């Protein structure tokens, strides 16, 4: 293998640039030519492909977002889209591909491998919802962004004796809500993986009031309901002086943490090594601080699971 390419797809995540940097510099160190594909699978089909040098990824390690840009391209799920992509790869003499992204990106990587084009998946998503890895690139940064907001909002909640409902990202996975809620001392954490009872949440608020507590924080993952919808439901139980803060896309941006930079660097480098071994259809990850790889088809069959021990601990400590 002499020439490989890299693309980022789906929602951006802090650390994607660090992963791309690792692919480029590891590849060049191994004697490969490395090409960048702009705008994900859309750019692949359109032939938006350019050669990358060592300097192309300079001054990127600390930057959030993705210098290769990203785009949604549902048409890549079709045979026509996949064949057009492979045609472009062959046209540029590219023999292997690294795809950084989440679940949808992995499906694209799987499809290319099934059509005989070796592709490696690197988990880049703030939701931490990819199986086969303890952590995804961008999760730690998004978590710390949410936690910083929680800490600041608690100051205001204390000053005005209010209940604040903080909506964080997490459509199908509640890791950002769970980890930030536990680290930020939230009184209640609502996540998609666990059903909740309004009576239980209200009971917790009332229990706090009874012991003299005058402010509370409730963290809601967007996959459960919106923060405003929860506030309306809470109002049915009485006046808790509730205010809503929606953190939104700020969770995707920002300079990646040291953890995300190191994780991205390790995973990107391993992806190159796998291509040099002429292996495709794999997803790299980290388990117990060891870099691993798993069959991407098997990864896609699995469902993200909640850390029940962590969830139960958060419930106990929020009394």
Q: How far apart are CA 226 and CA 232, in angstroms?
A: 10
199 a known binding residue?
no
Angle, CA 36 vertex, CA 34 and CA 39 arms, to 5°: 165
Query: CB-side exposure of 164: number of CA atoms within 13 Å?
Result: 25
287 a known binding residue?
no
Helix, strand or coil for residue 59? coil
121 a known binding residue?
no
Q: Which of 199, 200, 196, 193 is nearest to 176 (CA)?
A: 193
Q: How far apart are CA 309 and CA 313, in angstroms?
A: 6
Q: Is 127 a catalytic residue?
A: yes
23 a known binding residue?
yes
308 a known binding residue?
no
291 a known binding residue?
no
Would the CA dihedral through 208, 213, 230, 146 be positive or negative?
A: negative
49 a known binding residue?
no
- The torsion angles phi and psi of 143, rounded to 5 degrees, stand at -60, -45
Q: Which of 274, 253, 180, 176 is nearest to 16 (CA)?
A: 253
104 a known binding residue?
yes
| Continuous H helices in 30-102 | 40-46, 79-91
- The torsion angles phi and psi of 245, rounded to 5 degrees, stand at -125, 125
Among candidate residues 12, 48, 59, 127, the one labeled active-site is 127
185 a known binding residue?
yes
302 a known binding residue?
no
171 a known binding residue?
yes
Token look-up 């949808």 returns 104
Q: Which tokens hold the place of 181?
A: 């809620």
225 a known binding residue?
no
88 a known binding residue?
no
For the annotated binding site for ADP, the residues are 21-25, 154, 185-187, 211, 213-215
Which residues make up each annotated binding site for Mg(2+)?
Answer: 103
Q: Which residues are annotated as a binding site for ATP?
A: 11, 72-73, 102-105
Residues with active-site annotation? 127
Task: Name the binding residues.
Answer: 11, 21-25, 72-73, 102-105, 125-127, 154, 162, 169-171, 185-187, 211, 213-215, 222, 243, 249-252
- Which positions make up the binding site for substrate? 125-127, 162, 169-171, 222, 243, 249-252
């Amino acid at each position: 293998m002499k020439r490989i390419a890299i693309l980022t797809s789906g929602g951006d995540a802090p650390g994607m640039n660090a992963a791309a940097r690792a692919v480029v510099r590891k590849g060049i160190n191994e004697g490969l030519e490395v090409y960048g594909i702009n705008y994900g699978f859309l750019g692949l089909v359109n032939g938006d492909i350019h050669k990358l040098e060592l300097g192309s990824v300079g001054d990127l390690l600390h930057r959030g977002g993705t210098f290769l840009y990203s785009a949604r391209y549902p048409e890549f799920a079709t045979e026509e889209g996949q064949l057009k992509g492979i045609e472009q790869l062959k046209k540029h003499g590219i023999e292997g591909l690294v795809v950084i992204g989440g679940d949808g990106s992995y499906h694209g990587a799987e499809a290319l491998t099934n059509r005989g084009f070796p592709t490696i998946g690197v988990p880049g998503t703030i939701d931490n919802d990819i199986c086969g890895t303890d952590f995804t690139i961008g999760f730690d940064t998004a978590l710390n962004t949410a936690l910083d907001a929680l800490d600041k909002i608690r100051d205001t909640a204390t000053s005005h004796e209010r209940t604040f409902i903080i909506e964080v990202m997490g459509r199908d996975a509640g890791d950002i809500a769970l980890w930030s809620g536990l680290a930020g001392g939230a009184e209640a954490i609502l996540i998609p993986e666990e059903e909740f009872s309004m009576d239980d949440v209200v009971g917790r608020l009332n229990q706090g009031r009874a012991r003299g507590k005058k402010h509370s924080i409730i963290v809601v993952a967007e996959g459960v309901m919106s923060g405003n919808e929860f506030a309306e439901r809470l109002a049915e139980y009485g006046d808790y002086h509730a205010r809503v803060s929606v953190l939104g896309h700020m969770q995707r941006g920002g300079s990646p943490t040291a953890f995300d930079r190191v994780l991205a660097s390790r995973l990107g480098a391993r992806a190159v090594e796998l291509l040099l071994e002429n292996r495709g259809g794999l997803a790299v990850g980290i388990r117990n601080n060891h870099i691993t790889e798993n069959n991407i088809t098997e990864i896609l069959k699995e469902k993200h699971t909640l850390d029940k021990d962590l969830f139960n601990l958060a419930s106990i400590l929020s009394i």
